[in-house]
Structure 1
Amino acid sequence: MSPVSSAPYRSAVNHWAVLGLDPGADSQALKRAFRQQARRWHPDLNGNDPHAEEQFKAVNEAYAVLSDPQRRQQWEQGLDTAEAAAAGLDPFAQGFPDFDDYIEELFGVPQRRSPASRAGDSERPPASEARERSEVTAAPPPPPPVVASSDCESLVELTPEQALQGERVEIDLPDGTCVEVWTPAMAGDGWRLRLAGVAPGGGDHFLQLRVRTPEGLRIDGLRVLYQLDLSPAEGALGCSVVVPTLDGPVQLRVPAGSSSGRLLRLRGRGLQQGEQRGDQLVELRLVVPSVLTEAEEALYARLQQLAAELDGERS
């Protein structure tokens, strides 16, 4: 930027320097610089800068002086504010320049102008009124309420045949939406299917599959699972029990010395698909009575004593 003029202005403020212009810039450059500086120093955009409002006023004053030929001439002749007021030539008698030019640049929305404002500068509002107009803008519509994301779950009961082939299921969501889902073929009891993003707030909806028979058989693909409860004596000594299958009850021999968690296999007692047929697995679980008779308690105490004696002999 070229150095500012060295003319002996009596005013302490160099209006050209306030707008960042060389002396003698044309009206288009003056207007462009005014818009840029007004946007830069607008108090609404510089809430944390206490210097912004003073600079903003200086920008408006500089434009008011330089854009008015009579005021500009007085300033260039070295008249200060007090002298101009005394001569009846107060440079702010008609107020600060119209803010509409830079409000449009600042907010990106053309502002309404009064007929007097469009006709000339004789009816321009004071700076305080213009600033109020810049602040009273149309508020944007409030954002939609935020719905907390939460996952939901539904229980879906299937027969062994439905689980094997796959089944069409309709799920009613909490918001009233109905979702159609096909379960995968060869699904199993306890499977958890995820429907992504369909729950309120964009959460997931889970389908918990339940594939069981009234006899307690659980389906897992082609396999059938069954849990068999035994007494400790039956597990220790072995026994013969009747267990249900998809084809009816069968006799099962439990070997002696069986503990909880042991699996016994019934071959070919599962589901069939084509030439494939699954097995049935029987899981043993030893259950102790919650209430013992005196005789049972005495026998368990004797059994505990014998076990301690055996441990002593082995050690």
Structure 2
Amino acid sequence: MDHWAVLGLEPGADAESLKQAFRRQARRWHPDLNGNDPAAEERFKKINEAYEVLSDPRRRQAWEAGGTSQAGHRDPFASGFPDFHDYVDQLFSRRRERRPATTPPPPPPPVQAHDDLETAVSLTPEQALDGTFVEVQLSDGITVEVQTPPEAGDGWRLRLEGVAPGGRDHFLQLQVRTDEGLRVDGLRVLYRLDLPAPDGALGSSAVVPTLEGPVRLRIPPGTSSGRLLRLRGKGLERDGRRGDQIVEVRLVVPDPLAEDEEALYKRLQELLRE
């Protein structure tokens, strides 16, 4: 049995991807959630075995070497299937005990919520594209696990209904940004370009960052502040669809103006009045 294929992963996927894939598949095929369908029971057993093998370095090594992954293995569901949430909690708790203390925590890290009932959660573009699990620790010590939706965007607010103390709602504000100032919104990438006013009036070119590296963008003459320029195909790609990058131009004036700059602006002001 191809354990990677059972979990819908490419061979060699990292531990966090393995964990997320197992959660998705186990939730989908757990017998309690499928009316005790015999096909679901068999599929769930295969999913459990795949995770047990791939998350255990020794069993995984034996399986990849062409040997059996069943050594010393017994059917853990011979007496029935446990509650889904209890089963997942117990399984991952056992896995955490087996891991060395030096294993780095999976991204993104748990976020401490504040009394304003809103928590900012930073995601990478890749996490926002496919969705990821986020653990949020509420002010009363309860930890809530949330899966963000695929193709989430910067500034999205996710409502967690009734999880805060007193039955109040809690909100997650997603931040999907890069160090270069790119903002992700679904498949689109947004960027604000500050440009000297003369460059907008006369036209010019500017180097702007993209997810694939910097590119040179032509600024047409007569560009006003707020104009949107499109870089086709420079957004994210998913399921055969690819987004664009939208560049918003913002014209800026030096502050303070140098003496010769101030004289030129005064002359321009006079010409416009005439």
Q: TM-score scaled by structure 1?
A: 0.50
1:200 to 128, 149, 165: 165
Question: Which residue matches 1:270?
Answer: 235
Tell me the secondary structure at the aligned position of residue 198 of structure 1: strand
- 1-side partners of 2:225 and 2:258: how far apart? 23
C-alpha distance in structure 1 between counterparts of 2:207 and 2:182, whole Å: 14
Shift of 1:182: 0.3
Q: Which one of 159, 165, 182 corresponds to residue 124 of structure 2? A: 159
SS at match of 2:163: coil
- Tell me the CA shift for residue 202 of structure 1: 2.0
CA distance in 2, matches of 1:203, 1:288: 46
Superposed, 1:93-242 pairs within 5 Å as 152-242=117-207
1:305 maps to: 270
* 1:272-291 correspondence runs (5 A): 272-291=237-256
What is the rounded CA distance, in whole Å, between the counterparts of 1:227 and 1:180 in structure 2?
33
**How many angstroms does 1:198 deviate by?**
1.4
Spell out, residue by residue over 1:143-184, the C-alpha distance to the aligned partner (whole angstroms, 9 max, x if none): xxxxxxx75011100000000000100000001010000000
Q: 2:220 aligns with which of 251, 255, 265?
A: 255
Q: If the length of structure 2 is used for normalisation, what is the TM-score? A: 0.57
Q: What residue identity is the alignment partner of 1:238?
A: G
CA distance in 2, matches of 1:262, 1:192: 27
* AA matched with 1:226: Y
Higher-Rg structure is: 1
Between the aligned residues of both structures, percent identity stands at: 69
How many equivalent pairs are there?
A: 160
Displacement after TM superposition at 1:274 (Å): 2.4
Tell me, in whole angstroms, the C-alpha distance in 1 between the residues paired with 2:254 and 2:118: 36
TM-aligned CA deviation for residue 248 of structure 1: 0.8
Equivalent AA in structure 1 for residue 258 of structure 2: T
Q: Which runs of 5+ in 1 are unaligned?
A: 1-149, 310-315
How far, CA to CA, are the matches of 2:222 and 2:265 in structure 1? 17
What CA distance in whole angstroms lies between the structure 1 residues aligned with 2:154 and 2:135? Answer: 19
**Which whole-Å deviations, capped at 9, do the CAs of 1:216-245 have from their partners, x for residues lacking one?**
111011111110000111110111111111
Task: Give the counterpart letter for 1:180 in structure 2.
Answer: E
Q: Distance in 2 between matches of 1:246 and 1:181?
A: 26
CA distance in 1, matches of 2:177, 2:191: 10
2:117 maps to amino acid = C
Cα RMSD of the aligned pairs, angstroms, is 1.0
